[in-house]
Structure 1
Amino acid sequence: MHNIRNALIRWCKDNSPHCATFDDIYFNPGAGADESRYVFIDGNRLTAESFPPDQQTLIIAETGFGSGLNFLVTAKHILDSSAVPPNLHYLSVEKHPLTKEDLLKALSAWPEYSELAALLHTQYPPAAAGYHQLNFAEGRIKLTLMFGDAAESFSRLEGQVDAWYLDGFAPAKNPDMWSPELFQQMARLSHPGTTFSTFTAAGVVRRGLKEVGFDVRKQKGFGRKREMLVGSYVGPKPEHREGKPWFKLPASNTKPEAVTVIGGGLSGCSTAWSLAQRGIKVRLIEKECELATAGSGNRQGALYAKLPVSWTHQGELHLTGFLHSVNLLNHLDPEHTLWSQCGVIQLATTEKEQQRQQSMLAQGLYPDSLVSYRSAGELSSIAGSRIESPGLFFPDAGWVSPRDFCHQLTTHPDIEIAHAEVASISRQQEHWQIDTVTDQSFAASHLIICNAELANRFEQTAHLPLKPIRGQVSITPESAIDPSLQTVVCGEGYISPAQEGRFCFGATFDLKGKERNVTLEDHQHNISKLSEALPDIAAQVSDVQDQLEGRTAFRCSTPDYMPMVGPAPVADAFIETFAQLRKDRKWQFGNAIPEHHPNLYINTGHGSKGLITCPISAELLAGMICNEPLLLPKPVIDTLNPARFIIKNLIRQAI
């Protein structure tokens, strides 16, 4: 992945932005919005006549986000008009994003878009590579910002595009973007009739689009510009050979009216909310009499991402998931009643961890606005309590009450909660039958299994290698400890600022423990870890350790500590289809199609990272089910695929 650097802006006399790197303007200072409408909305014929009457979502992809003006003009067009599909999914790539400050200054020239611009500014991500999804108008409008090289970013996209906005800097100024690789990805993501428009009439663009199957026409440009290009995709669908055919996702052609979700923890509640936001009725089945009674039931959990030194799929998931969860919480709870954006300190209590943190920041993958290295003295000032080690500070991180988060997610009017313990599931003609231990039965066209380590109790999922990991948190008596701590502090464990006068800290990580009761030994373990991070607070806790309360739960994890999110594979069929992997891991399987249980999905194995992985995994699943462009890159989606352990075991000759 590329390091992302913000654009270098030179402000003109009329206060419009000029890109110093490419010596080009972002928009026409006098008529930018009018030009955007003419070139892109009119150029792509975004009117009712262009789409089937039952099409609900318009999918637009753009090759240069810039100031975001094209997005704002298009979003307002959708919101103000009944003549186009009522929902918009806008995908835009940007290699050199504006800073938040420059973005706000640039868009201040267009007061008619001030409301949308304010929402864009609030959610706008830091300059970190990858996909970032933003939401507007209660989910009617989704914006996926892809920070990185255009061709590479689109090569990682799983989805289909209805219209292309080709709006990078002019080919003469930025020739690297207008590459054959970009045009090939455009063809891959297009369908017959996909349109495009662009301000330029350059020969390299015209020839490149024709070569991959677009019909290209010239028409009058905007204002004094003589010509521009428009057209549509008329070529055959280019042959796309899946590099890992076992990870090919099943087609989902019709958005369901209703879905059933098993499991009322953070995974299930997030999944229910994401589906309900799309107008789908959700039945959420939870075996206990309350939601979030297991691993999602703690008073407070740290909301932050432990970032790797070099770019990994796991790191990309955690960073993207963290930013997604922050935006979701700001949307659901702007008053911060169930969470606090107080910042998180990640201590380096050993020389090895100090070196790891410094090496990570030296890679330049993460901007200072996301994370910075601080001395022990600086961290002590931030925390409001003595800290003896240096470490990282995440200013936009904080803590969340997972239990309250679950309840907030399920207040959606399209979510119905049923309290029952599921005994078995079976496929009955065109639907799933869900039978409970009390002989109740439910029917569902689509079923999602989210019940943590119990997800493999069913015949269809018995092959999933899930493992419970015991954890105990300790909770201080009310007002027994000085409440001066201002931020979450993480070391070997974590402690959050006091909630209702009580501190929550821990947690143990016991791979073999089966004890469900709170133990004194684990309280002492938690105090020991706390003393390494915050010695003054740990000393106060030691004085009241006989009054500590606690809570135990079992995190559900997987052998590679990545969640399982995606369609449920038919294990025996996978083994038969891809058996040749036992002999040759590079075998070409031609047109082999992996077999999945129809409309059965899995979302589990989030371990201790559920606050940053559950909401984004829920959105990923909802996108799969509703046939939307997916908000994570395909290589990351592959690392979450529940079939991955079948494939690994075939390669290892373990099955």
Structure 2
Amino acid sequence: MRLIHAHICWTEDTPFSEQHQDIYYNPDKGHLESDYVFYSGNNLEPLIQNKRPLHLHIGETGFGTGLNFICLWKRIRETNESRSLHFISTEKYPLNRSDLKKALSNWPELTDLTDQLVPQYPLNTSGFHHLYFDNNRIKLTLMFGDAAESYSRLNAKVDAWYLDGFAPSKNPDMWSPELFREIARLSKPGTTFSTFTSAGIVKRGLRDVGFDVRKQKGFGRKREMLVGTFVENTTPTPIEKPWFELPASEKPKEVTIIGGGLSGCSTALALAERGVKVTLIEQESQLATGGSGNPQGALYAKLPVKQTIQGELHLSGFLYSVNMLKRIDPAESFWSQCGVMQLATSDKELARQNNLIDQETYPQELVSLKSAEELSEIANTAVNFNGLFFPTAGWVSPRALCDHFVDHPNISVVQQQVNDLSFAEGLWQLATQSGELLSASHVVICNAEMANQFNQTDHLPLKTIRGQVSITQAKPANNKLNSVVCGDGYISPAQNQQYCFGATYDLQGKERNVTQEDHESNLEKLGKVLPEIHADVASESNDLQGRTAFRCSTPDYMPIVGPAPVQDQLIETFAQLRKDRKWRFENAKAEHHPNLYVNTGHGSKGLITCPISAELLASMICDEPLPLPKDVIDAINPARFIIKKLIKQTI
């Protein structure tokens, strides 16, 4: 959901918030104040100088101009370039990109870092946004929205808090008991905090939730500021859904992944970039031979008018994938940010799109409504319908993306078919078709609809949806489509002088061969929306090639990502749900198969859900802050189907 931008007026080079009637920073010594209050106030120097592998997790309550993040990043570069930082911050009124750049231009010595931050700065949409710098060693998670609400959705353990933001007298809504409770929930014994303010509401609020609070000299003319250390949580938050609580984990040395499609390859890279050795097992002779193997796939998210959990996952995943692709392939060798059109081919869809724009749910930089004439100009060919245009979207070659993902020194690809899993003496034993027995401490199952072939996962309700794309040669004179067009099907701009279009969506289909009937269906959909392109393609219809694959989906069309539950024990522990879905379970714990995870069921949305799901799984496995909100993580938890059956009394 789109937020209200910060309303800023400028006094010379100093930004002033009209919402809070206060300046963002000390106009002369803002960077020095940040170092004094937050860096020194939290005594971060020893942590950063430490030569041990250490991921430093910093939480902040007001991102503002990003000055605190930039100053800490600079300190790490100067002190210990091997140190990893995950900086997590919130902002209810984000600056626009031009104001952010202007605000940070006051410090020329920070220009190198500012020039990296500004291009990645997120669109003005609520939720979690992830930015990566210095070869992914520096991570920034920006949660756009109310601070207390944002942190209530975060799963993390924070090492130190930067309690920043406008003064309590100017911004009383932020400095709330709810925020202090979330800060305590996300802290551990020894977690520190520092803040520029010495207001009583802050001092009492932090003491009430378990912090030892002390005063010390403030910066410059400020007489006092507060620092302190977390002792214990005096107001613990009860666990609302214990069946979704995640098992504890420590970063492993190696992980084995079953399945070499988008989910498996993206998971492999996410782990490999954390220094984990990965064995990727694929039964076929090459990667991405299943649902991930089409020549081109549309990279965009179909957005709901009003925010839903599914919509939030898709938007977060889309923004994450686009940012990732810009980072790993700036030359666009296996993708193109050419824009995507989502055409309104029915009155119902046109009304939905008009409503989406009228609600001002999303910023224009993300999506706007265009006439058929405007879309025709963008596409460089006649378009028959009005529709939405996503300028930052495009297409991706999934197989090329998978090949890029596994081109990493920490990833080894093994061609084997795994038939069975068993756990003995602290290790997983993987029985292969060749008779070889492989061992692994951690296993991630990513083999699409075959993910429920194992005893540990046979409860997963996976289904296949058949799809066929049509492929034809695009003669140079006719190679004129400039953007992806989605109607009842989709077509991408020609890649290697070939058009790829389709795809059929057959819930019952089992035919694995390419059929002429499906070619004709794809041609009919194409002719409905792009008459000129259709005329060119139809003239070559006898030369149509194609590809058939089966998308792996689930009953709720959400992926399955997370630890594998022990079905019988989960049923026994939470059996009371059959009688009372609101029963409060005390000290109940969800049991999971040790170090066994699942990542499957992405359907036709793999390009936007696989990379963010891979980051989620890698963060779970390595005990890092999780990149998605807790309610979204719950919605894709593998245990959800068992719990739903208990509530419906069908198990």
- TM-score scaled by length of structure 1: 0.97
Instruction: Tell me how far 1:195 sits from its aligned partner.
Output: 0.7
- Give CA-to-partner distance per residue, 1:148-169, whole Å, 9 cap, x none: 0000000001111111111111
Unaligned runs of 5+ in 2: none
Once the two structures are overlaid, the 10-residue window that deviates more, 48-57 or 19-28, is 48-57
Runs ≥4 residues deviating over 6 A: 49-53
**Of residues 145, 149, 169 in structure 2, which corresponds to 1:148?**
145
CA deviations on 1:67-96 (whole Å, 9 max, x unpaired) are: 1010011112222223x9811111000001
**1:63 aligned to 2:35?**
no
1:24 to partner: Cα distance: 1.3
Q: How does 1:105-254 map to 2 (within 5 A)?
A: 105-236=102-233, 238-252=235-249, 254=250
1:251-400 aligned at under 5 Å gives the runs 251-252=248-249, 254-400=250-396
Computed over aligned residues only, the root mean square deviation of the Cα atoms, in angstroms, reads 1.5
Is the Cα–Cα contact under 8 Å of residues 56 and 85 in structure 1 kept in the other structure?
no
Q: Which residue of 2 aligns with 1:5?
A: 4
Aligned residue type for 1:357: Q
Question: Is 1:405 the counterpart of 2:365 in the alignment?
Answer: no
Q: Work out the CA distance in 2 between the residues paired with 1:16 and 1:650.
A: 58
Counterpart residue type for residue 40 of structure 2 = D
Q: Is contact 1:7–1:97 with CA below 8 Å preserved after alignment?
A: yes
Percent of matched pairs sharing the same residue: 62
Aligned-partner Cα distance in 1 for 2:406–2:52: 29
Which moved further from structure 2: 236-245 or 166-175? 236-245
CA shift digits 1:547-576 (9 cap, x unpaired): 111000000000000000000011111111
Distance 1:286 1:49, change over 3 A: closer
Matches within 5 A, 1:435-454: 435-454=431-450
Please give the alpha-carbon distance, in whole angstroms, between the structure 2 residues aligned to 1:408 and 1:349: 36
Deviation at 1:447, TM superposition (A): 0.4
Does 2:605 match 1:609? yes
Helix, strand or coil at the partner of 2:139: strand
Question: Residues of 2 paired with 1:468 and 1:290: CA distance?
Answer: 21
Whether contact under 8 Å (1:48, 1:85) holds in the other structure is no
- The whole-number CA distance in structure 1 between the counterparts of 2:562 and 2:108 is 42
* Structure-1 residue corresponding to 2:480: 484
User: Counterpart of 1:608 in 2: which secondary structure?
Assistant: coil
Q: Deviations over 1:518-556 (max 9, x none)?
A: 111001111111122212211222221111110000000
2:61 paired with 1:79: no
Secondary structure at 2:184 match in 1: helix
Task: Report the number of matched residues.
Answer: 651
Looking at structure 2, the residues matched to 232 and 295 of structure 1 have their Cα atoms a distance apart, in angstroms, of 50
Task: Give how far 1:54 is off.
Answer: 4.4
Letter paired with 2:599: N
**Structure 2 residue corresponding to 1:44, chosen from 42, 45, 57:** 42
Instruction: Provide the C-alpha distance between the structure 1 equivalents of 2:79 and 2:281, rounded to a whole number of angstroms.
Output: 39
- Report the counterpart of residue 25 of structure 1 in structure 2: 23
Deviations 1:177-210 (A, max 9, x none): 1111101111111111111111111121111111
Tell me how far 1:517 sits from its aligned partner: 0.6
For the 8 Å contact 2:268–2:280, the answer to whether it is kept is yes
Change (3 A) 1:63 1:49: closer
Distance in 2, Cα, partners of 1:85 & 1:482 = 52
Tell me the CA shift for residue 361 of structure 1: 2.3
The 1:278–1:43 alpha-carbon spacing in structure 2 relative to 1, beyond 3 Å, is: same
Q: Indicate conservation of the 8 Å contact 2:209/2:233, yes or no.
A: no
Distance 1:525 1:49, change over 3 A: closer
* Counterpart contact for 1:481–1:541, Cα < 8 Å: no
Structure 2 distance, partners of 1:300, 1:453, is 21
Matched to 1:30, the amino acid is D
Match for residue 95 of structure 1 among 75, 92, 95: 92
| Counterparts of 2:457 and 2:83, CA distance in 1 | 38
Work out whether residues 59 and 160 of structure 2, in 8 Å CA contact, stay in contact via their aligned partners in 1: yes
Once residues 241 and 52 of structure 2 are traced to their aligned partners in structure 1, the CA distance between those partners, rounded to angstroms, is 34
Q: Which blocks of at least 5 consecutive residues in structure 1 are unaligned?
A: none
Contact map agreement 2:209 2:234 (CA 8 A) in 1? no
**Within 2, Cα distance between the matches of 1:323 and 1:509?**
25
What's the counterpart of residue 650 of structure 2?
Answer: 654
Deviation at 1:478, TM superposition (A): 4.1
Mapped partners of 1:373, 1:553: distance in 2: 33
Distance 1:109 1:321 in 2: 34
Q: Is the Cα–Cα contact under 8 Å of residues 470 and 510 in structure 1 kept in the other structure?
A: yes
Work out whether residues 277 and 410 of structure 2, in 8 Å CA contact, stay in contact via their aligned partners in 1.
yes
Residue 235 of structure 1, CA deviation? 3.0
Q: Following TM superposition, by how much is the alpha carbon of 1:482 offset from its aligned partner in structure 2, in angstroms? A: 1.4
Could you give the per-residue CA deviations for residues 242-283 of structure 1, whole angstroms, max 9, x where no partner exists? 11111011111x210110011000000000000001010000
Aligned residues of 1:298 and 1:402 also touching (Cα < 8 A): yes
Question: Residue 648 of structure 1 aligns to which amino acid in structure 2?
Answer: K
- In structure 2, C-alpha distance between the alignment counterparts of 1:478 and 1:50, rounded to whole Å: 56
Task: Tell me which amino acid in the other structure corresponds to 2:6.
Answer: A
For structure 1, which segment, 88-97 or 22-31, has the greater mean C-alpha deviation from structure 2 after superposition?
22-31
Instruction: Answer with 66-75 or 582-591: which moved more.
Output: 582-591
Q: Does 1:579 align with 2:578?
A: no
Does the 8 Å contact 2:470/2:519 carry over to 1? yes
Structure 1 contact 58–85 (Cα < 8 Å) conserved = no
Distance 1:605 1:349 in 2: 28
CA distance in 1, matches of 2:30, 2:176: 26
CA distance in 2, matches of 1:433, 1:631: 30
Q: Give the SS at the match of 1:232.
A: strand
Q: 1:639 to 1:51 in 2, by over 3 A?
A: farther
**Post-superposition offset of 1:53:** 6.8
Shift of 1:429: 1.1
State the alpha-carbon separation in 2 of the partners of residues 239 and 95 from structure 1: 26
